[in-house]
Amino acid sequence: AKIQERYPSLTICGHYSPPLGFENNSNELQKSLDIIKDSKADILIVFLGCPKQERFIAKYKNEYQVPVSITMGGCIDFIGADIKRAPLWMQKNGLEWFFRFAQEPKRLFKRYFIDDIKIFPIVLKYKLGLAKL
């Protein structure tokens, strides 16, 4: 409703919030895919969180047949104003992630300090020229 209010000329052809674990339930998964395909949307925005949303699109894009799929993860919380954005100075200095972590440390610790750490050796490998893009 907030998106439609902010962009009145935007045509939103549908929305669906599947139950938790829908990807492990063949009936729920098929229902989700059918809803997407039947919408005949030009753009699909997926808000399942990382990495579930990326895996969903990679695995099912040919089945639901929407030309453009975009992941937005937690952005819906900001759009709906459920989560407060970081102060502008933090946003401009790449520290919004830290602000989010400070708000939800239990939920975000593993994501930010265990899972995301894996990217640093990969970046270093490319920086040192040991791998090609």
- Could you report the per-residue pLDDT of 48-98, keeping only the tens digit for each? 988 899 999 999 999 999 999 999 987 877 777 667 889 999 999 999 889
Residue 69's φ and ψ, nearest 5 degrees, are: -120, 135
Q: What is the mean pLDDT of residues 1-28?
A: 89
pLDDT for 133: 65
Question: Beta-carbon neighbour count of residue 17 at 10 Å?
Answer: 10
Mean pLDDT of 9-20: 90
> Could you tell me what percentage of the chain is helix, strand and coil, using 3-state DSSP and rounding each to the nearest 5?
55, 5, 35
| Residue 71, helix vs strand vs coil | strand
What's the pLDDT score for residue 74? 76
Beta bridge partners of 43: 68
Q: Is the dihedral of CA 73, 75, 78, 79 positive or negative?
A: negative
Q: Is the pTM for the entire model greater than 0.85?
A: no
Which residue type, as a one-letter code, is found at position 14?
G
Give the pLDDT confidence of 47-56 residue by residue, as tens digits: 998 889 999 9
Q: Cα 128 from chain centroid?
A: 30
The pLDDT value given to residue 79: 76
d(CA 27, CA 69): 22
